[in-house]
Amino acid sequence: MTGALIAIRPEPGLSATLAAAHAMGLPIQGEPLFAIRPVAWDVPDPAGFDGLLIGSANAIRHFGPARADWTGKPVYAVGDATAQAARDAGFSVAVTGEGYLQGVVDRLAGEDHAFLRVTGAEHVPMRPPAGISIATRVAYENVSLPVSDALAACLSRGATVLLHSAVAARHLASECDRLGLPRERIALAALGPRIAEAAGQGWAARHVAQRPREADLLALARDMCH
């Protein structure tokens, strides 16, 4: 691994990543390069939907006061952490995916469902199979934060950065270019191929977790240590 191991995801995910890394014995530091902020959204009548498609725990956290009207609808969650956040908020979980929301709807091919997808301002378009309809509403946004002087100094000495999203990959690349930080001294450990590609070229290394799960991303970082 090149230099320090750094996580840049927003809170509360950052603290969860740091705790999981420490539990694995990985030395890690973190600085959020994003803040998650709710946005006003038009909440439809739940009577017209069979369930909720949820691709991030942030959608549950920032659902807003109408959330209580929807707890009777099952959640189809992107992964384990999102599913647990839904359960903690009083929802039942019908399906838990493997890290990609598209995979969740693909598993329902041949069935008829009407879903409400609650998501962030930047999200991957869905391709629903025949018989499945998806209405999308944006409930939160990622607000980019500048790299601090301390983090810039750490990156300039060489580091490995964990990337949990494509927006994080693009923002890191933009900040490195803005500050003149050498990409060739920075290695990237990405949660998925699309995230790694979003970072662009010129890095010391770009590696992708075996599966799009936190545990696999940290296992990748551990391997990069050696």
Task: Break the chain into its structural domains and give their ranges.
Answer: 4-33+145-225, 36-142
Q: How much is the pLDDT for 72?
A: 97
Q: How much is the pLDDT for 19?
A: 97
4-33+145-225 and 36-142: identical CATH topology: yes
- pLDDT (tens digit, 9 = 90+) per residue, 176-217? 999 999 999 999 999 999 999 999 999 999 999 999 899 999
- pLDDT (tens digit, 9 = 90+) per residue, 5-40? 999 999 999 999 999 999 999 999 999 999 999 999
Q: Residue 147's CB: how many other CB atoms inside 10 A? A: 21
pLDDT over threshold 80, residue 225: no
Q: How much is the pLDDT for 103?
A: 94
Mean pLDDT for 150-171 is 96
Q: Which long-range contacts (CB under 8 A, 24 or more apart) does 110-116 make?
A: 113/50, 113/51, 114/48, 114/49, 114/50, 115/49, 115/50, 115/51, 115/52, 115/53, 115/76, 116/44, 116/46, 116/49, 116/51, 116/52, 116/53, 116/70, 116/73
Q: Name the one residue in this structure whose structure tokens are 């290695």.
A: 187
Look at the domain 4-33+145-225 and name its fold: Rossmann fold (3.40.50)
Look at the domain 36-142 and name its fold: Rossmann fold (3.40.50)
Reduce the DSSP state of residue 134 to 3 states and report it: strand
Sign of the torsion angle spanned by Cα atoms 173, 152, 145, 166:
positive
- pLDDT (tens digit, 9 = 90+) per residue, 83-137? 999 999 999 999 999 888 999 999 999 999 999 999 999 898 999 999 999 999 9
User: Which pairing describes strands 132-144 and 34-38: parallel, antiparallel, or unpaired?
Assistant: antiparallel
pTM (2 decimals)? 0.83
Beta bridge partners of 22: none
* Maximum C-alpha span of the chain: 55
Mean pLDDT for 43-55 is 97
Q: How much is the pLDDT for 99?
A: 83
Q: How much is the pLDDT for 100?
A: 85
pLDDT over threshold 80, residue 1: no
User: Cα-flanking dihedrals φ and ψ of residue 50, to 5°?
Assistant: -95, -20
